Amino acid sequence: MKCNVMRSIIITFVASLLAVAINVLPVSAEENGEKAAAGISPKVEISFVYQKQTGMGSNQFAVWIEDSSGKYIKTLYATRFTANGGWQRRAQSLPGWVKAAQAVNMTTTEIDAITGATPSSGNLSYVWDCKDKEGNKVPAGEYKYIVEASLRMANRVVCSGTIKTGDQAQQSQAVSEFFGDSESERGMITNVVAKYYP
């Protein structure tokens, strides 16, 4: 009798555990579904080597995202001098970013969220959470990542590439376009790479 009661209790307990497990497990066994259930979001990491320069009119840079048609999506980082109005005092400071991000319309809160002091030399990386500037998730597809840097006064570089978001991991190497005659500062931003993690 005791054995039957004990068996009944165990069977009921196991059945309860199975019911809970079925309700907790994701419906889909696909990797993206599992990651979403675990709270892991897709992201794009943009990394590059930065070599700090000496002298005035240098060491300003910004990192941002556009969609495949060139529509501005979000700024990941901009050096504090330029974002805080330095572009008004020195028009040569990141003109591409100023135009794309419409810096003239940015609020103090928006500026504070993307700026920081000029970093030390080394390997830098900035992460895009696959959301727009309002915090809305963007659809999967092809996006453009851009790193613009003021090398010295009117000399600058724009490093850009495309990365596809969606189900599969991707990697992309940016192409650099230089503006201005000076070549001595062209090592300031090198090896710009984007990696997408679904």
What does the pLDDT read at residue 7?
44
The CA distance from 28 to 117, in Å, is 44
What does the pLDDT read at residue 140?
97
**The two three-digit tokens of residue 1, written as one number:** 């009798």
Cβ–Cβ under 8 Å, residues 76 and 126: yes
Give the contacts of 12 (CB within 8 A, at least 6 positions apart): none
Residue 89: which pLDDT band, with cuts at 50, 70 and 90?
Answer: confident
User: How many C-beta atoms lie closer than 10 Å to residue 34's C-beta?
Assistant: 13
100-115, pLDDT tens digit by residue? 999 999 999 999 999 9
What does the pLDDT read at residue 39?
54
Can you name the residues that pair with 162 across neighbouring β-strands?
Answer: 144
- Residue linked to tokens 């790193």: 147
168-195, pLDDT tens digit by residue? 999 999 999 999 988 888 999 999 999 9
Tell me which fold the domain 41-197 belongs to: Immunoglobulin-like (2.60.40)
Cβ–Cβ under 8 Å, residues 73 and 132: yes
Cβ–Cβ under 8 Å, residues 173 and 179: no
Can you name the residues that pair with 137 across neighbouring β-strands?
Answer: 131
What does the pLDDT read at residue 35?
47
Write out the E strands in 29-108. 43-50, 60-67, 72-79
For 103, counting Cβ atoms within 10 Å of its Cβ (0-12 exposed, 13-18 middle, 19+ buried), the class is buried
| 3-state SS, residue 1 | coil
Whether residue 13 has pLDDT greater than 60: no
What does the pLDDT read at residue 163?
98
29-80, pLDDT tens digit by residue? 344 445 444 456 899 999 999 999 987 778 999 999 999 999 999 999 999 9
Total-model pTM:
0.79
